[in-house]
């Protein structure tokens, strides 16, 4: 399969900002603890918005900016672990809202925080079969509806949001990346029903696993591409905790300015975190056309992925 190139990006967040000071009125916590342990200062929470509203807004923006004709879109994937309903898929509702043609297939994908990179990989494989040249890939979450509002060790970490990209295969490059999974129910678990239908999390277990696996996947991806970290201006890691990203950076011998960080504004938005970051890089003109970015993720499941993408 060829490499993946981004044609346009978009992002959306709900209007309500929930600061650490707001959380301190609800659970026994404080701004200093949250910032020093996670890097998070605020996150966005839905009030009237649905997850699908956010996905549609981000997807519309990505499509407009890509200047791609709707008729040339062959595929829509929404990565989410917090869909608004069991059916229809959020991808089908994005398809409808954007007025996409019938030949564009639409489905959701759940790989938790690795969802966006799993969706990029899946979209690339489908585009490689031929047919229409472009895919719309969205990562969108409404995690505020899934947290335990009394558990200070997990509730303060998460936020709602969406990011999207219109992609095509870059015929001048080979795809370089890796994805994998390991089954584990203890680290992060969110049942659908019952009195405990919220996120249950073993933070320290996830922390260690995340650092180890993101380091491994990033190292192997760079080696497969015959690149050194210093050849890249930016690495975009899943934004789960500032200290996780810094630890991966130290293991890879990287520099602070290479490891893009926006967790302070959004918290952990799961599948949305990487596309929101990619959209910021694009909006702030921090990436040039043709530039490669290394994206790295880990998620509940466990799921892991790393890949090089080109702007």
Binding site for ligand UT7 (CB under 6 A): 29, 33-34, 37-38, 113, 152-153, 156-157, 188, 201, 203-204, 206-207, 240-241, 268, 299
Angle, CA 234 vertex, CA 204 and CA 229 arms, to 5°: 85
Min dist. Cβ of residue 40 to ligand UT7 (A): 9
Instruction: Look up residue 22 and give its two tokens.
Output: 């707001």
Catalytic residue among 20, 51, 238, 279: 238
Q: How far apart are CA 10 and CA 1, in angstroms?
A: 25
- Please, which residue, 58 or 300, has the CB nearer to ligand UT7? 300
- Please, which residue, 240 or 294, has the CB nearer to ligand UT7? 240
Min dist. Cβ of residue 10 to ligand UT7 (A): 22
Min dist. Cβ of residue 309 to ligand UT7 (A): 20
Q: What phi and psi, each to the nearest 5 degrees, are found at residue 260?
A: -65, 135
Nearest residue (beta carbon) to ligand UT7: 203
Among 247, 151, 264, smallest CA distance to 203 is for 151
Contacts of residue 123, Cβ cutoff 8 Å, sequence gap at least 6:
4, 75, 77, 135, 137, 167
Instruction: Look up residue 202 and give its two tokens.
Output: 């073993």
Instruction: Look up residue 212 and give its two tokens.
Output: 């180890």
Cross-strand pairs, 44: 17
Look-up of token digits 């050849």: 231
- Please, which residue, 23 or 134, has the CB nearer to ligand UT7? 23
Min dist. Cβ of residue 7 to ligand UT7 (A): 28
To the query of whether residue 113 is one of the catalytic residues in this protein, the response is yes
Angle, CA 170 vertex, CA 169 and CA 173 arms, to 5°: 125
Q: Is residue 256 helix, strand or coil?
A: helix
- N residues, the chain: 311
- Please, which residue, 73 or 278, has the CB nearer to ligand UT7? 278
Catalytic residue among 46, 113, 190, 295: 113
Q: How far apart are CA 277 and CA 141, in angstroms?
A: 15
Min dist. Cβ of residue 22 to ligand UT7 (A): 13
Q: How far apart are CA 140 and CA 146, in angstroms?
A: 14
Min dist. Cβ of residue 163 to ligand UT7 (A): 15
- Please, which residue, 33 or 107, has the CB nearer to ligand UT7? 33
Q: How far is CA 287 from CA 9, 53, 137, in A?
A: 12, 28, 19
Q: How far apart are CA 153 and CA 136, in angstroms?
A: 35
To the query of whether residue 238 is one of the catalytic residues in this protein, the response is yes
- Please, which residue, 222 or 240, has the CB nearer to ligand UT7? 240
Contact 54, 14 (CB under 8 A): yes
Q: How far apart are CA 136 and CA 237, in angstroms?
A: 21
Min dist. Cβ of residue 33 to ligand UT7 (A): 4
To the query of whether residue 262 is one of the catalytic residues in this protein, the response is no
- Please, which residue, 107 or 207, has the CB nearer to ligand UT7? 207
Instruction: Look up residue 51 and give its two tokens.
Output: 């997850």
Catalytic residue among 20, 121, 241, 268: 268
User: Which residue numbers are catalytic?
Assistant: 113, 238, 268
């Amino acid at each position: 399969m060829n490499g993946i190139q981004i044609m346009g990006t978009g992002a959306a967040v709900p209007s309500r900002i929930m600061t650490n000071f707001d959380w301190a009125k609800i659970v026994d916590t404080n701004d200093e603890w949250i910032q020093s342990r996670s890097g998070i200062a605020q996150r966005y929470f839905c009030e009237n918005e649905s997850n699908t509203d956010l996905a549609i807004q981000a997807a519309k923006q990505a499509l407009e900016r890509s200047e791609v004709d709707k008729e040339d879109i062959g595929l829509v994937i929404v990565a989410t672990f917090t869909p608004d309903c069991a059916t229809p898929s959020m991808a089908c509702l994005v398809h409808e809202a954007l007025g996409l043609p019938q030949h564009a297939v639409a489905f959701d994908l759940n790989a938790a925080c690795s969802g966006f990179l799993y969706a990029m990989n899946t979209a690339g494989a489908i585009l490689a079969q031929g047919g229409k040249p472009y895919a719309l890939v969205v990562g969108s979450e409404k995690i505020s509806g899934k947290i335990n509002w009394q558990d200070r060790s997990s509730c303060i970490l998460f936020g709602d949001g969406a990011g999207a990209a219109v992609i095509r295969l870059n015929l001048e490059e080979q795809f370089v990346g890796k994805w994998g999974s390991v089954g584990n129910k203890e680290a992060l678990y969110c049942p659908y029903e019952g009195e405990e239908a919220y996120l249950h999390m073993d933070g320290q277990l996830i922390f260690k696993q995340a650092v180890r696996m993101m380091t491994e996947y990033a190292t192997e991806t760079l080696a497969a591409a015959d690149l050194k970290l210093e050849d890249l201006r930016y690495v975009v890691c899943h934004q789960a905790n500032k200290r996780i990203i810094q630890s991966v950076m130290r293991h890879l011998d990287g520099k602070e300015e290479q490891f893009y960080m926006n967790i302070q504004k959004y918290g952990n938005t799961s599948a949305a975190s990487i596309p929101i970051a990619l959209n910021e890089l694009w909006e702030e003109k921090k990436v040039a056309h043709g530039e490669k970015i290394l994206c790295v993720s880990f998620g509940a499941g466990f799921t892991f992925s790393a890949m090089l993408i080109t702007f």
